[in-house]
Amino acid sequence: MCLGIPGKVIEIYDVDGTLMSRVDFDGVVQEVCLATTPEAQPGQYVLVHAGFALNVLSDNEASETIKILKELESFNRDFYGRDATSS
């Protein structure tokens, strides 16, 4: 199973001919490859898996996905007594 996480593009740049970006995931900024989504622009959301943007999301799609992920985290905390990143 793959899990793509929405993040907001905050900067786009080129690294040796590869389109790259800095993407904000709720306060955590990571470098993401935009080679498969060259249409992405700063301020837009992209769905990211393994450091690659898979597609551009609308603001509504991104906010709904983020909402569901936060609900899942809350469920894990309440049900298991820990956050989703704990093992």
Give the three-class secondary structure for 29.
Answer: strand
Q: What's the domain count of the chain?
A: 1
Domain that holds residue 64: 5-80
When pLDDT is cut at 50, 70 and 90, the band that residue 16 belongs to is: very high
Between the CA of residue 74 and those of 19, 69, 81, 82, what are the distances in Å? 35, 9, 10, 9
Query: Per residue in 22-63, pLDDT tens?
Result: 999 999 999 999 999 999 999 999 999 999 999 999 999 999
pTM of the model: 0.82
* Helices and strands, number each (H, E), in the chain: 1, 5
Flag whether 87 is in a domain.
no
Flag whether 86 is in a domain.
no
Flag whether 18 is in a domain.
yes
Flag whether 15 is in a domain.
yes
Q: Residue 52's domain is classified under what CATH number?
A: 2.30.30.140
Flag whether 35 is in a domain.
yes
Q: Tell me the torsion sign for CA atoms 6, 29, 27, 1.
A: positive
